[in-house]
Amino acid sequence: MPAARLPRSAGRPRLTGTLASWNDARGFGFVEQSTGRERYFVHINAIAAIATRPRVGDQLSFVAGPGRDGRPAALEVLISGANVRQPDVDRRGRPEPTLRFGLGQVGRIILALVILALAGYASVTGRAPTTLPAVYLALAVVAIIGYFHDKYAAENDLWRIGEKILHFIDLCGGIAGGLLAQALLRHKTAKPGFAAVTYAITALHLAGLVLLLYGVFS
């Protein structure tokens, strides 16, 4: 994630505190100051150059200032001490292997291009209507717009698009755009459950296009 654009502190002192609560889905939480019981609202956009998502317990340094609604807010936030995630363990206390679920950016892009290529080839060979590639492309654009809006909303605490709606757009033919958006925007790629449904929809479209090319639906 790129570094957030931070306001100038204008000589205000930096404070330290602990991230006491965090809503990762909406990208905001509250910081408790190390000295005293003052709580400050913190938004993901106020955190500079983060490599990982914030977690409850992270040690922060920040500049206090007014938020959008006038509440005390943490600005120019730096994670000075990350709360390291402990590995999952089994009943015997042994670390469980980390499951990496996904094909990565390149894999998603390749799948998207394969789907569009199959749709175009089916149309050229007369196995499908000539409008099929245009339909896939149009719905791909709709899917990309949906993913872009959802990512923007997540980063700016706005109304988001439900995951079921994104999956429905992919299922209806926007899957190529959904795969491209996930790869290029790096959105929804860290959620195994979401990825599993995406790959199931991808497999369904690939199977349908292959069967179409073999004349099964003729």
- What is the C-alpha separation between 36 and 25, in angstroms, rounded? 28
Look up residue 178 and give its two tokens: 């959904």
* Helix orientation angle between 104-124 and 192-213, rounded to the nearest 10 degrees: 20
pLDDT digit string (tens) for 74-109?
888 888 876 655 554 445 555 444 444 456 889 999
Q: What is the pLDDT of residues 46-77, one digit of tens each?
A: 887 665 678 888 888 889 888 777 788 988 88
Instruction: Kindly report which listed range (15-24, 61-70, 120-129) carries the lowest average pLDDT score.
Output: 61-70
In degrees, rounded to 5, the angle at the alpha carbon of residue 62 between the alpha carbons of residues 59 and 65 is 140
CA–centroid distance for 53 within its chain: 11
pTM: 0.56
Q: Rounded distance, CA 213 to CA 118, Å? A: 8
HEC per residue, 11-36:
CCCEEEEEEEEEECCCCEEEEEECCC
Res 142: pLDDT: 97
Say what the pLDDT of residue 165 is. Answer: 95
Which pLDDT value is given to residue 83? 62
Residue 50: predicted pLDDT: 63
Among all chains, which residue has been given the structure tokens 């015997």? Answer: 92
CA distance to 70, 160, 185, 191, 200, per residue, from 170 (Å): 40, 17, 16, 16, 11
How do residues 131-187 score in pLDDT, each as one tens digit?
Answer: 999 999 999 999 999 999 998 887 776 788 999 999 999 999 999 999 999 999 888
Query: Domains of the chain, with CATH numbers?
Result: 14-81 (2.40.50.140), 104-213 (no CATH)
Task: Give me 171's structure tokens.
Answer: 């299922």
CA angle 148/149/153 to nearest 5° reads: 120
Residue 203: pLDDT band (50, 70, 90) is very high
In single-letter form, the type of residue at position 152 comes to Y
What is the predicted pLDDT for the residue at 196? Answer: 92
Residue-wise pLDDT for 36-46, tens only, equals: 678 899 988 88
Residue 35 is predicted with a pLDDT of 72
Residue 215 has pLDDT above 90, yes or no: no
